Structure 1
Amino acid sequence: MFTGVIECTTKVHRLYRDKNNLCITLNNPFLYNEIKINQSISHNGICFTIININHNKKIYSVIASEETFYRTNLNVLKINDEVNLERGMKINERLNGHIVQGHIDTTAKIIEIENKNGSWIFSFLSKKSLYNVVVEKGSIAINGISLTIIKCAKFRFSTSVIPYTYEKTNFKYLKIGDIVNVEFDILGKYILSKKNEL
């Protein structure tokens, strides 16, 4: 479980396929005792379990199943790409973003970036319909970042990105046409699920 408040970014060190799985090795920005094997960390919003750590080379590895590969933007991930990281939330701390599971619902393409003289408006075209899943002023996670929706339609939505978020995440590297991971608010998904049962 995560909050959508990114701790730091890191670079992809190595990518290779193992049968239907994608193995990802990343540079380790954390101290020696801050991560461990079997720990879950959000990578661009995707919850991955650490399977290997090499403290001497300052790298660690995770693995993506075929299902994760096809549901997310991993098919466009490249060596040296910058990835957003967040370790699992602690129960005794404030929830500063919103509840993020690390389970990607769909991907979206950036269709517009507007510089608002101090912040940025990013507009996206979702691969999946947003009908009844998102609302204006509701929460959404983009590449693992907790953001507020300012406008939404059936497939299109936009969010505002403040300078701190822009500089501390991989938003500063994104451009029109890039594909991002999207996780809808779990509360909205539960409400929609119960509504469909009626």
Structure 2
Amino acid sequence: MFTGIIEEIGTIRTINRGAASAVLTIAAETVLKDVHLGDSIAVNGVCLTVTSFSKNQFTADVMHETLNRSSLGTLRPGSHVNLERAMKADGRFGGHIVSGHIDGTGTITDIKKDDNAIWYTIKTPPELMRFIIEKGSITIDGISLTVAREDKDRFQVSIIPHTAAKTILSEKKNGDMVNLENDCVGKYVAKLLQPYQGNTSGDLHSDGSSDSSSHPASSGITAEFLLQNGF
């Protein structure tokens, strides 16, 4: 688990591409101070596993699914990336709960200055916008940010000078792709509110018989189901 507080900006040294995968070698310092093989490091918000490391770099495998879901496939040698180690149990919770499992990507459509702040407008598909709410949390390239405004197909965040200086957001321009992770609390709530889709044919007993009254129909709880179960 991560918190969305970027520890340092790393640099892509090499990318070895397979048929549908890649191996990244990333130059870094801070995140390597207490690193071990198998540790998790978020790279632009994507949780990757350290497969090897030296004093000033580490490697990580990126599988096909990750390339499809994220912007990691657009990286090139020399690209800068946001880095964060997995959170320690006794660490400060500076951002919000971040899993490092990217939901999808968005596209920056507008960047404008507002005194000491910078506003970013990001367009993203409806399936991601569903979980984006004003004043809620969103992870952009691994950065924990607050949604300032939201619309039908886009949302806005406003960042302070410190965030601009310590992350790669300041390097972004219109048309650039960013990784997005929705607030996991909202995703779990939405899932739990869906009608039950389990074993609708009933529970199997040891003799192979089933109890068809054990579960509501897949369409939801019905009056018949409530009566059968004593309500």
- What TM-score comes out, normalization by structure 1 length? 0.94
1:83 and 1:175 map into 2 onto residues whose CA distance is 15
- Give 2:113's aligned residue: 115
- Give 1:92's aligned residue: 90
Matched AA of 1:35 = V
Q: Any conservation in 2 of the 1:130–1:154 contact (CA below 8 Å)?
A: no
Structure 1 spans left out of the alignment, 5+ residues: none
| Aligned-pair CA distance for 1:192 | 1.0
Structure 1 residue 64 corresponds to structure 2 residue 62: yes
Q: From the superposition, tell whether residues 92 and 32 of structure 1 become closer, same or farther in structure 2 (CA, over 3 Å).
A: closer
Residue-by-residue CA offset, 1:110-159 (whole Å, 9 max, x unaligned):
00001001011100001343453111000000000000001112320111
2:128 and 2:32 map into 1 onto residues whose CA distance is 41
Question: Which gives a bigger RCO, structure 1 or 2 (Cα 8 Å, sep 6+)?
Answer: 1
Larger radius of gyration: 2
Q: Any conservation in 1 of the 2:31–2:83 contact (CA below 8 Å)?
A: no
- Give 2:127's aligned residue: 129
Query: What are the within-5 Å matches in structure 2 for residues 167-182 of structure 1?
Result: 167-182=165-180
Q: Any conservation in 1 of the 2:12–2:78 contact (CA below 8 Å)?
A: yes
Matched AA of 2:66 = T
Query: What are the within-5 Å matches in structure 2 for residues 5-84 of structure 1?
Result: 5-30=5-30, 33-55=33-55, 58-84=56-82
Q: Any conservation in 2 of the 1:129–1:154 contact (CA below 8 Å)?
A: no
| Alignment length (residue pairs) | 196
2:191 and 2:151 map into 1 onto residues whose CA distance is 20
Structure 2 spans left out of the alignment, 5+ residues: 196-219, 221-231
Matched AA of 2:7 = E
1:28 and 1:131 map into 2 onto residues whose CA distance is 33
1:43 and 1:86 map into 2 onto residues whose CA distance is 7
| Aligned-pair CA distance for 1:195 | 1.7
Q: 1:191 aligns with which of 189, 192, 216?
A: 189
Q: 1:165 aligns with which of 144, 152, 163?
A: 163
| Aligned-pair CA distance for 1:2 | 0.2
